[in-house]
Amino acid sequence: MDHYKSALISVSKALRRRDVDFVLIGSAVLPLLYNIDIDPRDLDLFIRNFSTVMDYELFEEIARENDWDIGTTTHGTVFYELVVGDHVVRVDLLENILDIYVPPQLLDNAVRLRLDGVEVPSIRLEDLLLLKARAAAKEDEEFISDVAWRISDVLSGITIDREYMKRAVRYFPEDEQESIIKRLEKNGIYLE
């Protein structure tokens, strides 16, 4: 997990030097914010004040300055690959494009994660569950089921704020809210 932390710290510092606002989203929230022992496979940062598509040159300069590899996702957004020790860590820089949608209110509700003196804004577990339910891929549903199982284990100490989730689901388009709730319930997360 240390290689993810090191990569996140490096990218956070580099983005801040260029006044790029971001929020940590994705599965890395679990180990970094909640100390849940999983391998997130990559880091996902949501870029708030630039477009990695429209401002590609900016993100390319950041990669060059830091000797990182840069690529483009299937959505057209940027990703970096950093060598950290004997690991290669992928960092996806995401934005609301095509089928990626993160309501601004979820980003506004970000909590602060401190890693070796570096503050990183991060969505909450509740927000992550809503995003996974919206995405609806098989791996997202498996993720929700895994978290539901962990929540049911009293010894895990993991809890969610269901009242917050009931409010936060309303940040999504009205025509998606019911399906988000149904996917959560199908995978063991009940808001009622």
CB 94 within 8 A of CB 107: no
Q: What pLDDT score was predicted for residue 101?
A: 93
Same domain for 75 and 46: yes
Which range of residues forms the domain containing residue 145? 126-186
Total domains in the fold of the chain: 2
Domain boundary residue among 76, 92, 123?
A: 123
Same domain for 140 and 47: no
Give the CATH number of the domain where residue 24 resides: 3.30.460.40
Domain boundary residue among 81, 106, 123?
A: 123
Same domain for 103 and 79: yes
Residue 38 token pair: 């999983």
Same domain for 78 and 62: yes
CB 50 within 8 A of CB 14: no
| Residue 54: CA count within 13 A, CB half-sphere | 7
Same domain for 149 and 92: no
**Residue-wise DSSP of 135-146:** H--HHHHHHHHH
Distances (CA, A) of 43 to 79, 146, 189, 191: 10, 19, 24, 28
Same domain for 105 and 151: no
Higher confidence at residue 74 or residue 48? 48
Same domain for 175 and 160: yes
> Over the stretch 101-159, which tens digit does the pLDDT of each residue have?
999 999 999 999 999 999 999 999 999 999 999 998 999 999 999 999 999 987 888 89
Which is nearest to 47 in space by CA: 12, 81, 6? 12
Same domain for 113 and 138: no
Look at residue 160 and tell me whether its pLDDT is greater than 80.
Answer: yes
Specify the pTM: 0.94
Residues 6+ apart with CB under 8 A from 11: 43, 45, 80, 82, 91
> Over the stretch 26-60, which tens digit does the pLDDT of each residue have?
999 999 998 888 899 999 999 999 999 999 999 99
Same domain for 50 and 109: yes
Distances (CA, A) of 52 to 23, 27, 59, 86, 169: 14, 21, 7, 28, 27
Q: What pLDDT score was predicted for residue 162?
A: 96
